[in-house]
Amino acid sequence: MKKYPLEFKVNGKKYSVEVKPNMTLLRLLRSLGFTEVKSGCEKGDCGTCAVLMDGEPVNSCLTLALQAQGKEITTVKGLGTIEKLHPIQEAFVKYGAIQCGFCTPGMVITAKAFLDKNPNPTREEIREAISGNLCRCTGYQKIVDAIEAAAKKMREGR
Ligand code: FES
Ligand code: FES
């Protein structure tokens, strides 16, 4: 199958690659080494493959790589650093919102996009926001606790 040129950025770094038209963004990101973007259902059901595309959350398994032309992709690793975690990442650790961790990259990305739009959400709104992200371990309570705490911290500018 013919390949097409694609230029895009991931976590601030520019990439120029050639991809087949049927390659998904998920497969491309993982092949470039961004294995923090998890492959779950690959059908749009679980949300663990979520990344930000120009600030908007997308399921990368349902996004063709070529749709990223000229766009800026942010994975969970692009949100903070080991030395300085993003407040959402910090809260997930602090509140025990991570067990096996498989859902965590997508949860954190979804939470980031959500809090950017709604910095002072109710717990119900948080539950609604993460309803497309499945977690088989935590029962969601601690995830909601973490997002609520991160929102507070972000509002206070800490
Ligand atoms: S792997 Fe993309 S939604 Fe499940
Ligand atoms: S922590 Fe295991 S799937 Fe969510």
Q: What is the pLDDT of residues 29-59, one digit of tens each?
A: 999 999 999 999 999 999 999 999 999 999 9
Which CATH number fits the domain that encloses residue 38? 3.10.20.30
Q: Which ligand is nearest to the CA of 110?
A: 1
For residue 62, the ligand 1 atom closest to its alpha carbon is 2
104 assigned to some structural domain: yes
Ligand that lies nearest to the alpha carbon of residue 57, given by its number in the listed order: 1
Shared-domain flag, residues 62 and 116 = no
Whether 81 is covered by a domain: the verdict is no
Report which residue type is found at 38: K
For the entire predicted model, the pTM comes to 0.96
Give the mean pLDDT of 110-122: 98
Last residue of a domain, one of 55, 75, 95: 75
Q: Are residues 65 and 94 in the same domain?
A: no
Which of 75, 98, 133 delimits the end of a domain? Answer: 75
* Domain of residue 129, CATH code: 1.10.150.120
User: Does residue 105 share a domain with residue 52?
Assistant: no
The pLDDT of residue 105 is above 80:
yes
Instruction: Looking at the structure, tell me whether residues 16 and 40 fall in a common domain.
Output: yes
Residue 140 Cβ inside 6 Å of ligand 2? The answer reads no
Q: Do 9 and 51 belong together in one domain?
A: yes
CA 35 distance to own-chain centroid: 12
Q: Which two tokens stand for residue 119?
A: 């910095």
**Is the C-beta atom of 97 inside 6 A of ligand 2?**
no
Same domain for 100 and 39, yes or no, is no
Q: Which two tokens stand for residue 4?
A: 């097409």
- Can you give the pLDDT at residue 21? 97
- Residue 15 and residue 70 in one domain: yes
- Distance in Å, CA 103 to ligand 1 centroid: 10
Q: In 11-158, at which residue ranges do the beta strands (DSSP E only) sit? A: 13-19, 50-53, 56-59, 72-74
Give me the number of domains the chain comprises.
2
Task: Answer left, alpha or beta for residue 96, where phi above 0 means left and psi between -120 and 50 means alpha.
Answer: left
Do residue 16 and residue 71 come from a single domain?
yes
Q: Count each helix (H run) and each strand (E run) in the chain, helices first.
A: 5, 5
| Per-residue pLDDT at 158 exceeds 80 | no
Q: Which domain holds residue 127?
A: 87-155
The alpha carbon of 16 and the centre of ligand 2 are apart by a number of angstroms equal to 33
Is residue 80 assigned to a domain?
no
The percentage of residues in the chain with a pLDDT greater than 70, rounded to a whole number, is 99
pLDDT of residue 157: 84
Q: For position 125, what pLDDT does the model report? A: 98
Distance from the CA of 150 to the center of ligand 2, in angstroms? 19
65 in the same domain as 33: yes
Residue 54 inside a domain? The answer is: yes
CA of 64 to the centre of ligand 1 (A): 13
